[in-house]
Copies of this chain bind each other. A is one copy, B any other.
């Protein structure tokens, strides 16, 4: 059985990656979402082990020191976030695909640790549309939105570092493209070497 694929999804706030992730998980039973660990307190409605793994600073630091994080970061306010390595590794070895929804700093760390990770950048169809989506949510201040758009611009400037780009114009099309990437990655020759050997061994047996 082949190892599962490690798929990293990133994209600016408002690009719709949360919805893409949700649809992907609904439609692909072989896909697992990595749950991040964080030192911040749970917010209302957040469930431990589902939204995040809520851990103490001590536990977080220990995991990082022991190489147990695929990527991690400390926010300006001191809160720490990271991706636990153990479940990712276990799932992939079971042949399950793993999805990480992280930012570019996280993606860079993951690519260092797991060069076979596949990066997909979710792109809004235009910047105007990104802006429209953020304003339409209507939950944030003008200043906060401007800040998100500025960060988004920086992220789009780094998009080239990813392996693939999916433009999220129509949700179902975007989801299908990510699924196609997963399927294609499983058909890459590097994944298939053992099959060549098997068929050639089979040929040997038949010729005898």
Residues of A within 8 A of B (CB): 120-121, 123-124, 126-128, 131, 149, 153, 156-157, 159-160, 162-167, 176-177, 179-181, 183-185, 187-189, 192-193, 195-196, 198-200, 202-203, 206
Contact = CB atoms under 8 A, between A and B. Distances in A.
Given A177-B183, A180-B179, A187-B181, A200 B166 contact: no
Interface of A is mostly: helix
Chain multiplicity (copies) = 2
A120 B126 CA distance: 34
B127 A206 contact: yes
Nearest to A125: B199
Contacts of A179: 180
A130 to B, nearest CB: 8
A189 B160 contact: yes
A164 B193 contact: no
A125 B167 CA distance: 35
